[in-house]
């Protein structure tokens, strides 16, 4: 077979390769490169030195920040998954197809609207003299300090992730073969046991993917911890922001970014391995 250059095929295949190599792979590889550059007198010069890596990885505040980010993103993921589950369950099994379509339509909207403005709105709502405390005050409670706390950070993360988690959980569970659930009930499985032994195992992959996306989004977000968490305990994204915006320390920010990517890759691979592992002990 002769291999001629197929102009038509290449017209559609090549643009994205060119574009993504130049503006996606290029930037990420360059970021790895600059982590070895040095900054002198506020100017970055090309070099190959380990100094940024040594500086960052030997600092206590980096590791504090690292574990705190994993911790708070993990908490937020757990909370989002648990909060979303009953709602997704209801939408998947109790709602009509039409109602479910509408619910998913509504849940897509926030995904394309300004996260920044929504966060600012929470800032006003949760403030010490804000709406929530005013309402609690009416029944003689509070005021509670909600801003600049872990609680504030988690609320911010949830604003970002909850709609996505509900969508993914709902779609996953709606695709579970309903006859299997009926069969389980028919064989005398109690409702909660049915969820635990039938619904969860069957929707495992989708649920893990939902949790993974939730974690990635929380882990990489700087807005919630910055504005609602008060950045007293800086997360890694805030560390990147600070080192980049003040002091032009791009190489050190790059070190943080690479550490974040490595962490996310590890977690993603673990999650995917878990999701596609053949049925467990049960």
Partner 1 sequence: MNQNRTLNIILAMYVLCIFVFIFAPILFSMVFSFNSQRFPTIPLGEFSTEWYAKIFADPDVWLAARNSLIVSVSTSVVATFLGFCTAYSDFRYNFRFKGPYLALILLPPTIPLIIMALAMLAWLSKLGLSGQLWSIILAHSVLTAPFAMAIIRLRLNQMDPDLEAAAWNLGSSEWQAMRHVIIPFCAPAIVSALCLTAAVSFDEFAISWFVSGLNKTVPVVILEIVQGNIDPQVNAIGTFVFLTSMTLVILAQVFFISRQVKSHS
Report 176-205 residues binding partner 1 (CB under 8 A). none
Question: Closer CB to partner 1, residue 105 or residue 279?
Answer: 105
Residue of 91, 184, 198, 228 that binds partner 1 (CB under 8 A): 91
C-alpha span between 259 and 186 (Å, rounded): 51
- 215 lies in the binding site for partner 1 (CB under 8 A): no
Residue of 1, 109, 187, 281 that binds partner 1 (CB under 8 A): 109
Question: Closer CB to partner 1, residue 51 or residue 127?
Answer: 127
H/E run at residue 43: strand 43-45
Query: Is residue 115 a contact partner of residue 223, using CB atoms and an 8 Å limit?
Result: yes
Site for partner 1 in 16-45 (CB under 8 A): 16-17, 19-21, 23-28, 30-31, 34
| DSSP characters over 7-31 | HHHHHHHHHHHHHHIIIIIHHHHHH
- 47 lies in the binding site for partner 1 (CB under 8 A): no
Residue of 56, 254, 267, 271 that binds partner 1 (CB under 8 A): 254
| DSSP characters over 100-137 | HHHHHHHHHHHHTS-HHHHHHHHHHHHSTTSHHHHHHH
In the bound complex, what is the minimum distance in angstroms from residue 253's beta carbon to partner 1?
5
- 107 lies in the binding site for partner 1 (CB under 8 A): yes
H/E run at residue 38: strand 38-40
Question: Closer CB to partner 1, residue 188 or residue 279?
Answer: 188
Query: Is residue 125 a contact partner of residue 131, using CB atoms and an 8 Å limit?
Result: yes
């Amino acid at each position: 077979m002769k291999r001629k250059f197929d102009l038509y095929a290449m017209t559609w295949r090549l643009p994205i390769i060119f574009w993504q190599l130049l503006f996606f792979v290029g930037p990420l590889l360059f970021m790895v490169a600059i982590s070895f550059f040095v900054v002198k007198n506020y100017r970055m010069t090309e070099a190959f030195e380990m100094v940024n890596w040594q500086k960052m990885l030997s600092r206590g505040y980096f590791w504090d920040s690292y574990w705190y980010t994993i911790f708070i993103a993990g908490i937020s993921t757990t909370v989002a998954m648990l909060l979303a589950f009953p709602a997704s369950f209801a939408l998947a099994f109790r709602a009509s197809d039409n109602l479910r379509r509408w619910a998913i339509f509504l849940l897509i909207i926030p995904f394309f609207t300004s996260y920044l403005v929504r966060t600012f709105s929470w800032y006003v709502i949760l403030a010490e003299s804000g709406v929530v405390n005013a309402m609690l005050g009416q029944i003689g409670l509070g005021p509670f300090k909600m801003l600049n706390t872990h609680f504030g950070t988690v609320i911010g993360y949830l604003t970002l992730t909850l709609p996505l988690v509900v969508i993914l959980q709902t779609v996953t569970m709606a695709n579970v073969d309903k006859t299997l659930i009926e069969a389980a009930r028919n064989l005398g499985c109690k409702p909660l046991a049915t969820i635990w032994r039938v619904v969860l195992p069957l929707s495992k992959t989708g649920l893990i993917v939902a949790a993974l996306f939730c974690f990635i989004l929380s882990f990489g977000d700087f807005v919630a911890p910055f504005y609602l968490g008060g950045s007293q305990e800086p997360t890694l994204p805030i560390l990147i922001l600070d080192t980049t915006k003040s002091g032009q320390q791009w190489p050190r920010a790059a070190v943080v970014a690479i550490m974040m990517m490595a962490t996310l890759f590890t977690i993603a691979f673990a999650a995917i391995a878990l999701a596609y592992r053949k049925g467990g002990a049960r």
